[in-house]
Structures are given as C-alpha cells and as structure tokens.
Structure 1
Amino acid sequence: MEDVIVLIIIVLVASLLQTSTGYGFSIIGTPFLLLIYPAHMAIQVNIILSICLSAFMIFKIRKEVDKSLLIRLVKGSIMGLIFGIFIYLFLDIQLLKMTVGALILILTILLILKLTINRTQNKDFLTGGISGLLTTSIGVPGPPLLLYFSGAGIDKTTLRSTTLAYYLFVYFASLVMQISFGGTSKETWIFSLIAIPPLFAGIMLGQLFFKWISQKAFRVITYIILMFTGVYLLVTSF
C-alpha cells in the first residue's frame, strides 16, 4: 500500500511538471520509480505513462508543434533507438549514466553562463539520435532536447508542444522494442493503470501553471531540472 501511495505522489508531481514545461516526467519520475520497483519495471512504467500523457496533450497543443523540427528529431532518433536497446539489454548502463550525468552538468553550467547554440538541420538530427539512444537504454529522452532547445533559445510554447509530440513517437517505439527484446510483466501494467488518475490530475494542474510561467521562470526551471538529472545520474552510477 505504501508503494502505491508513493507511486501516486511521484506521478502527480512529475506529470504536473511535464505538462507545464514540456519536460520532467522521466527526469523526475524515473529516479523515484527506481526506488520502489526493479529497474526494467520502473523504466517501462515511466514509458507507458509518458505515452498516455503525450497522447492526451497532443490533441490540445498540436497546432503549436514545429513540424519540420519534429520530423528531423524523429528521423534522427531511429538509429539512436536501435543502439539504445542493445545498451538496455547487454551493456553497462552504469557507465552510460555516469558519462551522461557528467556531460549534462557541464553543459548546464555552460548554458547558465549564456552558452548559445546555433540550430542547424544536422544538429536537429543529432539531438534526436542521442535522445533516442537514452530513451531505449535508460528511459530518459529529455536532457538532449532540453539542452539543445535552451541553448538555441526556442520559446516555451514551441518547446513544450514539439517535445510532447516527439515523445509520443519515441516512447512508443521504445516500448515496442523493449517488450519485443526484453519482455514485460503483468505488474508493470497493473501499476501503470493505478497511476492513470494521478497522471491526469497532474496534467490538469500543469496546464494552469503553464499559463502563469514567464519565459525567464521557464528557463530557471529548465536549469533546475537539468542539474537534478545530472546529479541523479552521477550518484546512481556508483
């Protein structure tokens, strides 16, 4: 029963953050889900709920999506998804988490110091590829997008809508690949079903918060999310 209460709190907070900023469900949800469930179950619960969240939200914000950027991210992610599933199944995920965590912290500091990134089509593809790799391997696609979009100065409305549309594809593809190669469990789907009500409660609250968040506050929240992710990945890699 305690695990269910913790699950509800995690999902409520994570979905609120995801809906109000476009990021945060995996970044906040995955670390805490790993405290109460085995790694593969936690990653799959996170992915299932992320698909539900993105599917619900995309109908409300689909007109705000940057379609050309979305297509490049999706195309870039395909190769990353394939490499990521091999990491998920066979390679040392701890080493990957350590490397990614260190890079996120370094790049976040550079962003705080006003690092700017000039967007190009090749960088769009590369960002999608790295994000795809992290999705199938550790279930966290957000940091590459967050770093890239923040450095490029993309406005919060386009950022939120485009990333949610991208997540819908990349999470679904990742879930299919994980189940095909690594299987799933009945408990994974039961806990995912239990988490649906708090997920939608967080979505409703997050939409209200989004209207109140300024671009400056949005940027600060972005940096906090990135720093938290980097520290978490480093700490849990040892």
Structure 2
Amino acid sequence: MEDLIILVLIVLVASFLQTSTGYGFSIIGTPFLLLIYPAHTAIQVNIILSICLSAFMIFKVRNEVDKSLLFKLIKGSIAGLLFGIFLYLFLDIRLLKMTVGALILILTILLILKLTIKRTSNRDFLTGGISGLLTTSIGVPGPPLLLYFSGAKIDKTTLRSTTLAYYLFVYFASLVMQISFGGTTKETWISSLLAIPPLFAGIMLGQLFFKWISQITFRIITYMILIFTGIYLLATSF
C-alpha cells in the first residue's frame, strides 16, 4: 500500500510538470520510480505512462507542432535508439548516469550565464540522436531537448507541442526494443495500469497551469528541472 501511494504521488507530480512545461515526466518520474522498483521495471513503467500522456495530449496541441524540427529529431533518434538498447542491456548504468549528470549541470550553468545555441539541421539531428540514446538506455529523453531548445530560445508553446509529438515516437520505439531484447514483467503492466488515474489528474491540472505561466517563469522552471536531474544522476551513480 505504501508503494502504491508513492507511485500515485510520483505520477501526479510528474504528469503535472510534463503537461505544464513540456518536460519533466521522465526527469522527475524515473528517479523516484527507482526507489520502489528494480531499474528495468522503473524504466518501462515510466515509458508506458509517457506514451499514454503523449498520446492523450498530442490531439490538443498537434497544430502547434514544428513538423520540420520534429522529423529531424526523429531521424536523428533512430541511431541513438539502437545504441541505447546496447547500453540498456550491457553497460554499467552508473557510468552513463555520472557522465550525463555532469554534462547537464555544466550546460545548465552555461545557459544560466546566457549561453545561446544557434539552431542548425545538424544540431537538430544530433540532439535527436542523444535523446534517443538516453531513452532506450535510462528512459529519460528530455535533457538534451531541454538544453538545446532553451539555448535556442524556442517559445514555450512550440517547445511543448513538438516534444510531445517526438516523445510519442521515441518512447514507443524504445518500449518495443526493450521488450524485444530484454523482456518485461507482469509487475510493470499492473503498476502502469494503477497509475493511469493520477496520470490523467496531473494532465488536467497541468493544462490549467500552462495558460498562466510566463516565458520567464517557464525558463526558470526549466533550469530547476535540469539542475535537479544533473544532481540526481550524479548522486545515484556512486
């Protein structure tokens, strides 16, 4: 019962954050799910719920999607997904978490110091590739997108809608690959089913909050999410 309450709270907060900012479900959800589930179960629960969230939300924001950027991210992610499944199956996840955590903190500090990133096609592809790698390996595709889009000063509406559309593809592809190569468990699917009600409650709350959040507040929340992610990944890699 205690684990169920924790699951409900994690999913409620994470889905609220994802819906109101375009990021946060995996960044917040995965670390805390690891407190109550084995690593592969936590990652798959996160991915299943992220697919449900993205599928529900995409119909509301589909007209705001930057389709050119979306296709570049998807194309770039394919190679990353393939390499990431290798890491998921064989690599010491602690090493990957340590490396990613350190890079996120360094780049976030640069963004706070007003680093700007000029968007190019090659950088769009590279961002998608890194995101795909992180999806199949640790179930967290958001940090590369968040860093890149923040540095490129993409507006919050385009950012939220385009990432939701991208997540729908990358999470589904990742789940298929993980199940094909590493299998799944009954616990994964039961836990995911139990988490559906708090997931949709968080979505409703997040949609209300999104209407009132300014671009400046949005950027501050973005930095907080990134700093939390970087610190968490470093702390849990030792």
What band does the TM-score fall into relative to the shorter chain? Answer: over 0.9
User: Any idea what SS the aligned residue of 1:36 has?
Assistant: coil
Q: Corresponding residue for 1:221? A: 221
Q: Determine the C-alpha separation between the residues in 2 that align with 1:74 and 1:93.
A: 24
Match of 2:185 in 1: 185
Q: Which amino acid aligns with 1:31?
A: P
Taking the TM superposition and a 5 Å limit, the aligned residue runs for 1:51-70 are 51-70=51-70
The AA in structure 2 aligned to 1:236 is T
Counting only pairs closer than 5 Å after superposition, residues 195-206 of structure 1 correspond to structure 2 as 195-206=195-206
Normalised by the length of structure 1, the TM-score is: 1.00
Mapping of residues 1-238 of structure 1, within 5 Å: 1-238=1-238
What secondary structure, in the 3-state scheme, does the structure 1 residue paired with 2:8 have?
helix
CA offset at residue 191 of structure 1? 0.4
CA offsets per residue over residues 100-132 of structure 1, 9 Å max, x none?
Answer: 000000000000000000000000000000000
Q: Which runs of 5+ in 1 are unaligned?
A: none
State the superposition RMSD in angstroms.
0.3
What is the alpha-carbon distance in structure 2 between the residues aligned to residue 148 and residue 70 of structure 1? 14
Q: Supply the distance in 1 between the matched residues of 2:32 and 2:112 (Cα, whole angstroms).
A: 26
Provide the C-alpha distance between the structure 1 equivalents of 2:232 and 2:179, rounded to a whole number of angstroms. Answer: 26
| Structure 2 Cα separation of the partners of residues 93 and 123 of structure 1 | 26
User: In the TM superposition, what whole-angstrom CA distance separates every residue of 1:141-197 from its partner, at most 9, and x where no partner exists?
Assistant: 000000000000000000000000000000000000000000000110000000000
Distance of 1:217 and 1:115 partners within structure 2: 18
**Comparing 88-97 with 214-223, which one deviates more in the overlay?**
88-97
The structural deviation recorded for 1:93 is: 1.2
Name the aligned partner's letter for residue 49 of structure 1.
Answer: L
Tell me the TM-score normalized by structure 2.
1.00
Q: For 2:187 and 2:107, how far apart are their aligned partners in 1?
A: 37
Structure 2: how far apart are the matches of 1:11 and 1:99? Answer: 26
Structure 1 residue 140: deviation in Å? 0.3
1:92 deviation in Å?
Answer: 1.6
Cα distance between partner residues in 1 of 2:156 and 2:57:
15
Q: 2: distance between equivalents of 1:237 and 1:129?
A: 23
* Cα offset, 1:232, TM superposition: 0.4
Q: Which runs of 4+ in 1 moved over 6 A?
A: none
Shift of 1:47: 0.1
